């Protein structure tokens, strides 16, 4: 929860419930009491009339007949807040606090009329899917730029690891028309995180594709304006696309036999299972997806062998054969000169 959303939540809680202690606010919002103290100071500096009673039965409260004025927010802040409500509603933060959840939706209703079109556009083009997969979240330096391009309808050029049936994955510049962003919730060891996906029409494949934002290596915003087809619905598309993504990006645990000469090239969060007399080791390495696992194994060259899972062995073999065929063709072409 961002600070501005937390300040709003504190104000709405005090408005709806009256007097509350810092400890109670902290437990509802999932932060420390010290954070609440700093937030109360920030609200006071913003001229929100918060007072405090000490002793038993004490706590913070709003003085007089103060009511939160939604017009204090800018257009951008209003959109961010409404999307924050949508996201929070799918997690457990407000699961046992229906009163606060209703209050947040009342905030949306109180926003100025001129903000409504922006909020409607944001809801149509930015989707939060918090059905948990196992895995780790990925952030990207390009997320804010992509979000702006989605909402303003700007064409993008992406440098992205692109895969075709005829070739192995390779970085390639792709021209895309961004239709929407999807935040896919993940759960890993009781921690909530997620991954952002860009849904866009790809000029290379001539169809709508799903791009993982964290895999984008570079990005250029173009001047051309785009408009999604009137019959395109982000939620309908995502219902079908997420099934394919779940298969392609399902995390897996890899077991490798690595020769002594390649041990120094091991990276990431690996675990040594057994050390052999010749210096080789059996290691277990968690990988985020099959694609990343293939890249990890190939980085070790001929000094590592996949013991499991079998689908990774097959994928490494297929990729290695494609590489060999590519180089055979290159050598053949070079010999003709």
Question: In the chain, where does DSSP find H-type helix?
Answer: 3-17, 22-29, 33-45, 75-89, 98-110, 116-125, 143-152, 234-248, 290-299, 310-335
- Is residue 290 within 8 Å of residue 252, measured between CB atoms? yes
DSSP single-letter state for residue 234: H
SS3 label, residue 144: helix
- How many residues make up the chain in this entry? 337
pLDDT at residue 93 is higher than 50 = no
Q: Which residues contact 38 (CB under 8 A, 6 or more apart)?
A: none
The pLDDT of 249-262, averaged and rounded, is 86
pLDDT at residue 271 is higher than 80 = yes
- Is residue 68 within 8 Å of residue 12, measured between CB atoms? yes
Q: How confident is the model at residue 105 (pLDDT cuts 50, 70, 90)?
A: low
Mean pLDDT over the full length of the chain? 79
Q: How many helices (H) and strands (E) does the chain have?
A: 10, 12
Question: In 257-309, where does DSSP find H-type helix?
Answer: 290-299
Residue 136 is predicted with a pLDDT of 46
pLDDT at residue 296 is higher than 70 = yes
Q: How confident is the model at residue 126 (pLDDT cuts 50, 70, 90)?
A: confident
In the chain, the N- to C-terminal Cα span, in Å, equals 62
- Is residue 82 within 8 Å of residue 6, measured between CB atoms? no
CB count, 10 Å around CB of 102?
12
Q: How confident is the model at residue 232 (pLDDT cuts 50, 70, 90)?
A: very high
Residue 209 is predicted with a pLDDT of 93
Q: How many CA atoms lie within 13 A of 196 on its CB side?
A: 20
Residue 287 is predicted with a pLDDT of 84
Highest mean pLDDT among 45-59, 131-145, 209-223, 243-257: 209-223
Residue 177 is predicted with a pLDDT of 97
Residue 137 is predicted with a pLDDT of 47
- pTM of the model as a whole: 0.52
Q: H or E element: which one contains 200?
A: strand 191-202
Q: How confident is the model at residue 171 (pLDDT cuts 50, 70, 90)?
A: confident
d(CA 24, CA 13): 11
Tell me the pLDDT tens digit for each residue of 304-325. Answer: 999 999 988 988 888 888 788 7
The pLDDT of 214-225, averaged and rounded, is 91
SS3 label, residue 311: helix
Token pair, residue 51, equals: 């007072």
Tell me the pLDDT tens digit for each residue of 172-196. Answer: 899 999 999 988 765 544 344 567 8
CA distances for 118 relative to 49, 62, 122, 126, 168, angstroms: 30, 31, 6, 12, 41
């Amino acid at each position: 929860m961002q600070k501005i959303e937390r300040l709003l939540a504190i104000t709405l809680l005090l408005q709806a419930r009256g007097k509350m202690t810092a400890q109670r606010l902290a437990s509802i919002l999932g932060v420390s009491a010290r954070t609440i103290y700093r937030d109360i100071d920030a609200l006071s500096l913003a001229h929100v009339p918060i007072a405090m009673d000490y002793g038993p039965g004490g706590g913070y409260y709003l003085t007089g007949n103060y009511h939160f004025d939604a017009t204090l927010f800018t257009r951008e802040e209003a959109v961010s807040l409404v999307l924050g409500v949508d996201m929070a509603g799918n997690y457990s933060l407000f699961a046992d606090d229906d009163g606060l959840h209703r209050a947040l939706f009342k905030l949306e209703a109180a926003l100025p009329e001129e903000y409504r079109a922006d909020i409607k556009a944001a809801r149509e083009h930015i989707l939060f899917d918090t059905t948990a997969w196992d895995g780790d979240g990925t952030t990207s330096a390009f997320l804010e730029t992509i979000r702006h391009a989605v909402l303003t309808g700007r064409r993008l050029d992406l440098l992205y690891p692109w895969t075709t049936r005829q070739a192995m994955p390779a970085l390639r510049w792709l021209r895309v028309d961004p239709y929407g962003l999807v935040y896919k919730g993940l759960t890993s060891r009781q921690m909530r995180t997620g991954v952002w996906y860009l849904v866009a029409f790809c000029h290379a494949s001539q169809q709508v594709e799903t791009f993982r934002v964290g895999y984008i290596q570079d990005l250029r915003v173009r001047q051309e304006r785009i408009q999604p087809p009137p019959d395109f619905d982000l939620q309908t598309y995502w219902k079908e696309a997420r099934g394919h993504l779940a298969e392609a990006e399902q995390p897996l645990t890899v077991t490798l036999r690595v020769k002594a000469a390649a041990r120094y090239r091991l990276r990431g969060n690996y675990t040594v299972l057994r050390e052999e007399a010749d210096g080789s080791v059996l290691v277990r390495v968690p990988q985020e997806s099959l694609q990343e696992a293939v890249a990890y194994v190939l980085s070790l060259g001929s000094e590592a062998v996949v013991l499991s899972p079998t689908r990774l062995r097959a994928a490494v073999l297929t990729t290695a054969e494609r590489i060999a065929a590519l180089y055979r063709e290159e050598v053949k072409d070079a010999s003709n000169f």
